Structure 1
Amino acid sequence: MNSPEPANARISIIGAGPGGLTCARVLQRRGIAVTVYDRDPGPDARNQGGTLDLHADNGQVALREAGLLDAFFALARPEGQEMRQMDAAGTITSHQIPAPDELFKPEIDRGQLRDLLLESVQPGTVHWGRALDTISGPADGPRRLHFADGTTVETDLVIGADGAFSRVRPAVSPAVPEYTGVSFLEAWFSDVENRHPAIAELVGPGSAHAADGERGLFAQRNGGNHIRIYLVQRVPVDWISADGLTTEDTDGIRAVLRDRYAHWSPRMLQMITENDGPYVDRPILALPVPHTWDHDATVTLLGDAAHLMPPLGVGVNLAMLDACELALALANAPTVDDAVRAYESTMLPRSTETAEALEHGAEHLLSTGIPDFDDDAQPVDSAH
């Protein structure tokens, strides 16, 4: 089968996260039709996660192409760029304060970013409650999408923007995410200025990191007077069940944490054990490095589906840059096949270089120094 012109192609994006929606938005601005399928029953089916920073050299580039940069700045929190490094006693050892006009990587809640993108695409673009099961059909197309509800759709291009456990990835690659040996335990704090003023003072308006070489924490101010704290440990992936606990056993987990962080000061322990509600277990997974695949004219990947890395501030930024570049390639190439080749020729080397730099990056969050990944030290910008 000859590869169709992008303007005449049936393009299907799997996943209505920031990457998938950015791709859809840029395609529609260039006059190219697209359909997005998402497994969630609706846009409000689940919490979208914590805060993230969008960088001027990737995430903001994509938003500019999407015509949404000014709207982003209206929602973003430039003060969230502040970074505090503390020791186990809670003493600030390093303090990075952004300039009043600094806009290189302002923070925004993930839910706000998702809503901004979702409201920008044409009505009916996203088909909710469509969980992809498998993909069939010849490599030169057309492809057939098989959904869990028994329905099928024929398409000329499948774009996998469906995250760590992508159902599109197996069509081009056998790779699966692997545990890095480091796990995050997420703790939530609400109405912090009133209910947790001491924690609010410790964290400040941005982020705070503390570690003792074996264990650590990373705290992030979110919008709406919330703070999320990620406890960083080098543990077996099943450490909670190995201790005879479940994630619902908040008191039991707190007892384990009090023991593991026993030498930390009381003012730091409050960030570890005084959370509102249960903890969330987030073992850190990553795809093998490098992760590449043989070119396929009808299937490609972006974001975590293509290059899942430790969550150190680049995930959503790279996903949105991938999405933007793929959409522009489709807008400018004579065929879908040509567009996918052009996109992957840039994306795969970039993602390989970044993944190699961050391959053991989660370990650095256990270090007493400030992690330095080209100034990208904000973890947890994507849910696993």
Structure 2
Amino acid sequence: MSITIVGAGLGGLALARVLHVNGIEAVVYEREPSRDARGQGGMLDIHSGQRALRDAGLIDQFHEIARGEGQDMRLLQPDGTLLLQEDTPDDAPLARPEVDRADLRDLLLDSLPEGVVRWGHAFESAENGRLRFADGTSATGDLLVGADGAQSRVRPLVTDARPAHLGQNVVEVGIPDIDHTRPDLAAMVGRGNYWVLGDGVSLGAQRNGDGRVRIGISFYHTGEDWLATSGIPFDDPAAARARLLDLLDGWHPRITALIEACDDLIVPRSISALPVGLTWPSTPGVTLIGDAAHLMPPVGEGANMALLDGALLGLALAAHRDDFPTAVKEYEREMFERTSAAARMSADMQELLMSPDAAQRLLAFFQPG
């Protein structure tokens, strides 16, 4: 029996790798034309997902690319008050290391045989085991796994659920090669995560492995159309930076200096999530993993759950290689329980970040009692 995976993200690649380790062939269809067609985003906090990398036989290689110092954290208020600073000892265990998403994806891609990933195949529909792609080609498979992210085209085959806007919009900017271009700001941000939490607005700066600091300014309690009505001219980087500074009026100049130092790459993002605890009746011949199954607020669980989904589905298929329906049911039972708990925790953290006293509440979270 054959397995087709739609989407070459972390979950789909983890599934393909665990299947390969267990002697089961699969094909991954990816809409992007090549592995380098677009940027893969910033750093990921990989904790529970390390189990998946062990199952994939890649944990040692992961430790080589992981950044333990990425566990450092600084928490501030908009007036510049430092509430918390945690610096990771050099010999600390890699419990929650940061890793560049692109590096982790490359690790998974390089662990697969040539030809497993078929680039330039945008999934359109599936019926009776036949997949159809936007370029007019088709393929067949006994099990279709939707690993195609937040706007999954496979998801409607099992559920009518759709992501809903969370009242959060993010503007991403960044400072390249910060150690050389702005060593003063590099020292301020530190080696890991730098968080400034205000009332309805937050700024998160994160050191990436390539020397770039990636900065996300989140605007909470905002509607789906906020990015269009905010007055931020995304086609004019200099004017966009000026508007962001206006929106951060009253913040300490040391913090807003991060915006002033940014380059011209300015990316708007609208944040959505699927309902917490989403399930569906087991559907013959199809299942979902990763964001396609349980899109959550971006607070550190999504990538870990996707990796675990891929690995655990792969192990279930290996254990029931002549009975895919039983394997899928076993996987879905475990996945629904595990990811519902993660989604509830993520929703609670999202609610905390959106609260007027977010900084103090997050401080209490990290320093209970």
The answer for unaligned runs of 5 or more in structure 2 is none
Aligned-partner residue type, residue 119 of structure 1 = D
Task: State the match for 2:250 in structure 1.
Answer: 263
Aligned-partner residue type, residue 352 of structure 1 = S
Instruction: Say which SS state the counterpart of residue 349 (structure 1) adopts.
Output: helix
Q: State the alpha-carbon separation in 2 of the partners of residues 156 and 106 from structure 1.
A: 37
Task: State the match for 2:75 in structure 1.
Answer: 85
* Contact 1:160–1:169 under 8 Å retained in 2: yes
Task: State the match for 1:379 in structure 2.
Answer: none
Q: State the alpha-carbon separation in 2 of the partners of residues 14 and 33 from structure 1.
A: 14
* Contact 2:169–2:227 under 8 Å retained in 1: no
Q: State the alpha-carbon separation in 1 of the partners of residues 274 and 363 from structure 2.
A: 21
Shift, 1:363, TM fit = 4.1
Q: Is 1:96 aligned to 2:95, yes or no?
A: no
Task: State the match for 1:381 in structure 2.
Answer: none
Task: State the match for 1:276 in structure 2.
Answer: 263
Task: State the match for 1:128 in structure 2.
Answer: 119
Task: State the match for 1:36 in structure 2.
Answer: 28
Q: Could you tell me the TM-score, scaled by structure 2's length? A: 0.94
Q: Could you tell me the TM-score, scaled by structure 1's length? A: 0.90
* Contact 1:172–1:299 under 8 Å retained in 2: yes
Q: State the alpha-carbon separation in 1 of the partners of residues 365 and 102 from structure 2.
A: 26
* Contact 2:232–2:244 under 8 Å retained in 1: no
Q: Given the alignment, which residue of 307, 321, 325 partners 2:312?
A: 325
* Contact 1:247–1:278 under 8 Å retained in 2: no
Q: Given the alignment, which residue of 198, 203, 206 partners 1:217?
A: 203
Shift, 1:67, TM fit = 0.8
Q: Given the alignment, which residue of 39, 44, 53 partners 1:63?
A: 53
Q: Given the alignment, which residue of 347, 357, 368 partners 1:359?
A: 347
| Worse overlay, 241-250 or 153-162 | 241-250
Aligned-partner residue type, residue 12 of structure 1 = T
Q: Given the alignment, which residue of 168, 175, 191 partners 2:161?
A: 175
Task: State the match for 2:4 in structure 1.
Answer: 12
**Deviation string for 1:71-102 (max 9, x for gaps)?**
11111110100111112133321012223222
* Contact 1:232–1:365 under 8 Å retained in 2: no
Q: State the alpha-carbon separation in 1 of the partners of residues 361 and 56 from structure 2.
A: 34
Q: Given the alignment, which residue of 98, 107, 119 partners 1:107?
A: 98
Instruction: Say which SS state the counterpart of residue 250 (structure 2) adopts.
Output: coil
Q: Is 1:207 aligned to 2:189, yes or no?
A: no
| Worse overlay, 252-261 or 313-322 | 252-261
Distance 1:46 1:374, change over 3 A: farther
Task: State the match for 1:238 in structure 2.
Answer: 225
**Deviation string for 1:230-271 (max 9, x for gaps)?**
101122222232145542222333232222211111111112
Aligned-partner residue type, residue 327 of structure 2 = A
Aligned-partner residue type, residue 257 of structure 2 = Q
Aligned-partner residue type, residue 346 of structure 1 = E
Aligned-partner residue type, residue 208 of structure 1 = Y
**Deviation string for 1:316-342 (max 9, x for gaps)?**
100001111000000001400010000
Shift, 1:371, TM fit = 3.6
* Contact 2:43–2:100 under 8 Å retained in 1: yes
Shift, 1:361, TM fit = 3.1
Shift, 1:360, TM fit = 5.1
Q: State the alpha-carbon separation in 1 of the partners of residues 42 and 352 from structure 2.
A: 21
Task: State the match for 1:149 in structure 2.
Answer: 135
Aligned-partner residue type, residue 275 of structure 1 = C
Instruction: Say which SS state the counterpart of residue 360 (structure 2) adopts.
Output: coil
Aligned-partner residue type, residue 169 of structure 2 = S
Shift, 1:199, TM fit = 1.9
**Deviation string for 1:261-315 (max 9, x for gaps)?**
1111111111233311131111111012221111112100011000000011111
Q: State the alpha-carbon separation in 2 of the partners of residues 21 and 87 from structure 1.
A: 39
Task: State the match for 1:6 in structure 2.
Answer: none
